[in-house]
Each structure stands twice: as C-alpha cells, then as structure tokens.
Amino acid sequence: MRLILLSIQWGVFILAGSVVAPIAIGNAFHLSLSEIAGFLQRSLFVIGIASLLQVFFGHRLPIAEGPAGLWWGVFMIFAGAASAMNIKSQVMLQSLQMGVFISGICFLLMSATKMIHTIKKIFTPLVTGTYLFLLIAQLSGPFVKGILGIGYFIPQIDGRVAVPALATLIVTAGLAKSSYPKLRSFSILYGIIFGWILFAVLGITKPINMTVNHWVEWPEILVWGRPVFDISVVITAIITAVLLLSNLIASIEVVQKFLGEQTPVDYNRAGLVMGINQILASLFCTMGFVPVSTSVGFISTTKIKEKLPFIIGSSLVLGISFFPPITLLVASLPVPVGYATTFLAFTHLIVLALKEYGTVLHDDNQLLIIAVSLMVGIGSMFVPAEALRHLPGYLISLLNNGLILGVLTCILLEQGLKIKANRDL
C-alpha cells in the first residue's frame, strides 16, 4: 500500500506541474477545447516517456520531466507575434514544431561531440545557486497570483478563490511538517485531494463541457501538419537548446547532491536522451520538456528518495495519456489548488540556493558576481514584453527571460575573472 501511495503522489506531482502550460499555450493560440485537450493528452504522453527514458537510460535519477519554462515563453511570445503579424496560428505552430525538432538535433550533436562535459565545468556552486535563486524568483509571481485567484475568474484578487487556496496551502504545509511519517510523505497528495474537494463544495471548480468520443485513444502524430521552416524560430530554437543545458545540468546537480548519489552521471548520455525527448515532443506536437529542478523540493518535502515510486508514477502519467476521459478529469484540477499544494516544495529551492552560495560567501569578487547577476536577472523580469516587440524573435526570447540572462551574466563574470586571475599569475 505504501508503494502505491508513493507512486500516486509522484504521478500527481508530475501532473500538477504539467497541466497549466498546455492549457495556457492552447488559449494563447486560440485553440478549441477539444484541441487543448488533445494538446494536454500528447504532452502527458511525451512527459511519461521522457521521464522513463531518463531514469532508465539517461541521468538515471528520479527527476520529473516538465514543460521547459523557456519553451513555454517562446510559444507564448510567438503566439503574440502571430497575432500582431496576422500569421495563422496553425502556421506558427508548424514553425514552432520545426523549432522543437531543431533543438533536439542540437542536443544530439552536443552529446555526440561531448560538449556537455565541457559546459558542465562552468556550472560552479556560484552559477547553480544563481540559477536556483532566479528560478524561484521567476516562478514566485505566477504562484502568488495563482493562489490569490488572479485570472482564475476575474483579473483581480478573488477572495472566494484565495481563501480556499490559502486554506489548502496551510493544510499541505501542516501535513508536510507533521510528526507522522505517513502524513508527511503524502502531504502533496492529501493536499490536492483536500483542495479539490473544497473547491468543488464551494462551487468554484471549472467544469469542462466536452463530449468524449473514444474511451481509449492513441496520441496522434503531426496533428498540426508538416513542420514549416521559419528562420527566426530556428535561430530561437538553437539558442534555446544551448540555454536549456543550464536547466538540465542544474537539475541533475541539485538532485544528485541532495540524494547523496556517489555514482557519476553521464551528462552526454543525459543530453542524448533529452535530444530524443525533444524530437518526440516535435513529432507529437507539444512544447519541449526538460528535467525540472523542483523535483528536489518534492523529494525534500515528501522524503521519497527511492526510484521505484518515481518509475511507477511516470508510468501512471503515461498510461493516463491513453484515456481521454481521465485526461479531461486531470485538466479540471483547479489551477490555484495546484499552486497551493506545490508552494512549499518550491520554497526548498531557495534553501538549496542559499546553501550553494554559502560555499563562496567569503570572497568579495564572488559576492559582487552574485549581486550583479541577481540585479540583471531580477531586473529584466520587470521589463514589459511590449518594450521588446521591435526586436528579432530570437532576441526577444533571450532578453525577456530573467533566469537565462542572470545565469549567463554569472557565467561570463566568473569565467572572465578566472581568465584575468590566470593572466596575472
């Protein structure tokens, strides 16, 4: 029974982190309800396969796959660009489909040439700490807005949503800090059940009115049509692939350290599998996925370190993707409940970031690098997207992402100072 509950909780965690992005992107491209449901179904299918491929053949760690924040941003940016330039949503989606495929090829090439090991040396505790700090800074806005009910029914703070969401957060946090291991280990699962029931009792869940034609259905390939070549999307995809290496490496680093794994990870193999996963995402017409750093927060909160529950949980997500009625049920999970129940897991990333910084706080130069990197990263998060619309698409996707800008700033400053120090010797 314990194994079943642990596996379900892993599956629920993966689902909770995967539902919002497809729905948001579908709405941005003005897809119909049935098209959004299909998008979600295909996303869950690829996420399940990607998680299993990585745990068996890639990094071999219990790290959940999830929508890459950078790809999420790229899709949203080009959705706006399509509307502004009167390009059909279908054509833009076909171009993005090609972009995701190109990013997969880039990962295969980087792995085949063993470039990933070289890039890994750049990710020092300073860079990893900056990555984690900026990641939570970028995610904190959507989390707080989601819990307060902003955008769920109305564009303002909605008390009828915020109060039960905050109650769900408090219950989940209380369970996570319980002295009873069974409550502590299943805190997120119990929190979701509590929140979902509470929202249903208060009548603030969003029903999905859609007729299901088939109980079992295989996710379709190339539903958007043949990929279309667009130079701005291709350039953006290449840059995105390189920048996603930071996500891949940082996720592996933090989970490996937390688990105390002594077996070295083959980063080239992990990159190879990630390339395969990106190509699968392109074939099944979804966004790109990446191992998510928040897995360490989930593991820390639930104390689940075994691989088997993760494997079964990932298989559960894969299995759900074949059943449209279950997919629709999952899609009906209130977004504020998802944010509330995973809030505490995300806060553990700040703790990990501070621990990484703790190893370098004695050096004034490194303190300066931290300050400048955080200033650049967090500051750029407040630059409105409208101010960048006149720039090429590949620059927009870079300059509109504070996480990537901050990490790149940290890498350039640290490596620059190292080169200067070596020359002065």
Residue 322: φ, ψ to 5°: -90, -5
User: What's residue 394's pLDDT?
Assistant: 62
- How far is it, in rounded angstroms, from Cα 300 to Cα 191? 16
Q: 409: which 2 tokens? A: 């700033």
Helix (H) / strand (E) element for 67: namely strand 65-67
> Are 76 and 206 in contact, with CB atoms under 8 Å apart?
no
In tens, the pLDDT along 242-281 reads: 778 877 888 888 888 888 777 788 888 999 999 999 999 9
Percent of the chain residues past pLDDT 90, beyond the cut = 23
201 pLDDT band, cuts 50/70/90, is very high
Calculate mean pLDDT across residues 284-307: 82
Task: Please give the residue that has the higher pLDDT: either 126 or 166.
Answer: 166
Does 54 score more than 80 pLDDT? yes
How confident is the model at residue 337, as a pLDDT? Answer: 87
- Give the pLDDT score at 84: 61
Could you report the per-residue pLDDT of 58-94, keeping only the tens digit for each? 888 888 898 887 787 778 777 776 766 667 888 889 9
pLDDT of 153 over the 70 cut: yes
- Cβ neighbours of residue 326 closer than 8 Å, sequence gap 6 or more: 320
pLDDT at 22 exceeding the cut of 80: yes
pLDDT tens digits along 89-137: 888 899 899 999 999 999 999 888 888 777 767 778 888 888 888 878 8
Task: Identify which has the larger pLDDT, 181 or 326.
Answer: 326
**Confidence at residue 248, expressed as pLDDT on a 0 to 100 scale:** 87
Mean residue pLDDT of the chain comes to 83
Task: Give the pLDDT of residue 119.
Answer: 73
What pLDDT score was predicted for residue 185?
A: 65
Give the model's pLDDT for residue 388: 74
- Residue 195: per-residue pLDDT: 93
User: pLDDT tens digits for 387-408?
Assistant: 777 777 667 666 767 877 888 8
**Cα distance between residue 407 and residue 411, in whole Å:** 6
DSSP letters, 397-419, are HHHT-HHHHHHHHHHHHHHHHHH
Q: Could you tell me which residue, 17 or 278, shows the higher pLDDT?
A: 278
Q: Provide the β-strand partners of residue 66.
A: 290
193, burial (CB in 10 Å: exposed 0-12, middle 13-18, buried 19+): middle
Alpha helices in 284-334 (DSSP H): 294-302, 307-320, 324-331
Looking at mean pLDDT, say which of 140-149, 173-182, 282-291, 326-335 comes out highest. Answer: 282-291
Name the band, by pLDDT with cuts 50, 70 and 90, for residue 218.
confident
- Where is pLDDT greater, at 301 or 234? 234
Nearest to 6 by CA among 182, 221, 142: 182
The predicted-structure confidence for 35-45, as pLDDT tens digits, reads as follows: 888 898 999 99
